[in-house]
Structure 1
């Protein structure tokens, strides 16, 4: 278990509280300790970060100090900052997140970019395994004429996704179901999916923070390919001829996923790399 905070954060000014919290977080090995402290204190006070810089001498009330101390302790315990604040930015949009959904990652924005490049030539777009709804809401926000449908096997995740769609004023059709079971043959123009791809065999070595995220959104069976296998097979039926399947890839997952694509059903795939040079998005079209 992580240590209890070794220094009281009370009573203190904003600058003192930030300095003490950042030191605690750094001592425990938390990444970006100063930034984390700033995000947590901003959330605690209900202000934007510039307020912290402009009012370093402001004294925290006992209630504010206790709340900040609780947030810092939660982070020391391994709880992700996004679950403490309940927010995560994705594709320039702020989303509500909680432990019912995966925290959106920056690399997943490549899926949105690839989808938006082809919205004008597709019919219905399905965000499969929508989680927080970040992909569906981002696509609809930037391509308002597109019909976007979002599915998830998790009812609690769909409630989060609906909340985000309402918050950002976009119309997304939500469906509770598994993969493409709810859709007619050749009814979709595009399927976009960030599937669970972490192998269960890797569980013992995972970062502590990942254990807070929903396992159904993280783990893809023993080898990480379980959902890919089922989805690629069913997508070939649900997509219209020349429809597009866009998949996020796990680290070193490209060759294994490409091996699942039959020449009879699919054209040659195109793969995009993320900023770290890792193969991250596979895009492939169904043959006519």
Structure 2
């Protein structure tokens, strides 16, 4: 069987569980061939199909995300290592990177709260060669992934990954602040939210859920941001699309104004916070 035939057969099987069946099949086949999807489509469709595609399709039929199967996810044009210890970086979160780079292109010290795979911090540092940053996470397994990504992207000299939990006293001591730029993608999903099986069954719950209305971590983290910002500093915080007003109110009570940023789907995605 040729690559093209194998992809068509895999896509037909995946249609029962995936809205992106053809894309999933192509990504899985390209992974087995050891090349990018575009290269495969241009050069390899008439080659012999790779062994093992059926096994990967079976995993996808169980709602395992393609990114976990391949161990890779692109974010802001950069390749990231991912595994079930970290959330899969999503295109919507690129809004945070764009807002941060626009707000403080001169930043020299960056803090990323809840760094996970390191995607936000490393994407920003890739475009700010003058800057250094620290990514914090309470999960040592996540930090292992973030450090591997910093190494793979050649950003290890700029990026330091540290274990810290903003729920703990003194969590920010030793991080090297104050910071010109703070990034944060805290847990913000409601505890009873109806999530897709690929998310609920496979992605880390500790990085997803934040109480009945999804605001628990904002209530803890956001009031601590002003003390961590250098003069003129800015924080960019990801939010759920219904949470802009509530998180802006938390920021206002902490002495900060908020500017809303929308994602490509025109949904509220991030708040840029700065001292009043």
Query: TM-score, normalized by length of structure 1?
Result: 0.87
For residues 270 and 40 of structure 2, the distance between their equivalents in structure 1, rounded to whole angstroms, comes to: 39
For residues 196 and 32 of structure 1, the distance between their equivalents in structure 2, rounded to whole angstroms, comes to: 26
For residue 178 of structure 1, the aligned residue among 162, 165, 182 is 165
Size of the aligned set, in residue pairs, is 268
The secondary structure found in structure 1 opposite 2:252 is: coil
Superimposed CA distance per residue, residues 145-185 of structure 1 (whole angstroms, 9 cap, x where no aligned partner): 01211111110000100000000111201111113822379
Q: Does 1:233 pair with 2:223?
A: yes
Aligned position for 2:86: 101
Q: How far does residue 48 in structure 1 lie from its aligned partner after superposition?
A: 3.0
Superimposed CA distance per residue, residues 120-142 of structure 1 (whole angstroms, 9 cap, x where no aligned partner): 45442101110000111111110
Consecutive aligned runs of 4 or more in structure 1 exceeding 6 Å deviation? none
Structure 2 residues not aligned, in runs of 5+: none
For residues 93 and 264 of structure 1, the distance between their equivalents in structure 2, rounded to whole angstroms, comes to: 35
- Going from structure 1 to structure 2, the CA distance change for 1:55 and 1:260 (only over 3 Å counts) comes to closer
Superimposed CA distance per residue, residues 6-35 of structure 1 (whole angstroms, 9 cap, x where no aligned partner): xxxxxx221221111111011x14122111
For residues 252 and 178 of structure 1, the distance between their equivalents in structure 2, rounded to whole angstroms, comes to: 25
Aligned position for 2:36: 48
Structure 1 residues not aligned, in runs of 5+: 1-11
1:14–1:52 Cα contact (<8 Å) kept:
no
1:119–1:146 Cα contact (<8 Å) kept:
no
Which protein has the larger Cα radius of gyration, Structure 1 or Structure 2? Answer: 1
Q: How far does residue 245 in structure 1 lie from its aligned partner after superposition?
A: 1.7
1:119–1:143 Cα contact (<8 Å) kept:
no
For residues 214 and 254 of structure 2, the distance between their equivalents in structure 1, rounded to whole angstroms, comes to: 24
Aligned position for 1:216: 206
CA RMSD of aligned residues (A): 1.9
- Going from structure 1 to structure 2, the CA distance change for 1:263 and 1:30 (only over 3 Å counts) comes to closer
The secondary structure found in structure 2 opposite 1:162 is: helix
Q: Does 1:260 pair with 2:250?
A: yes
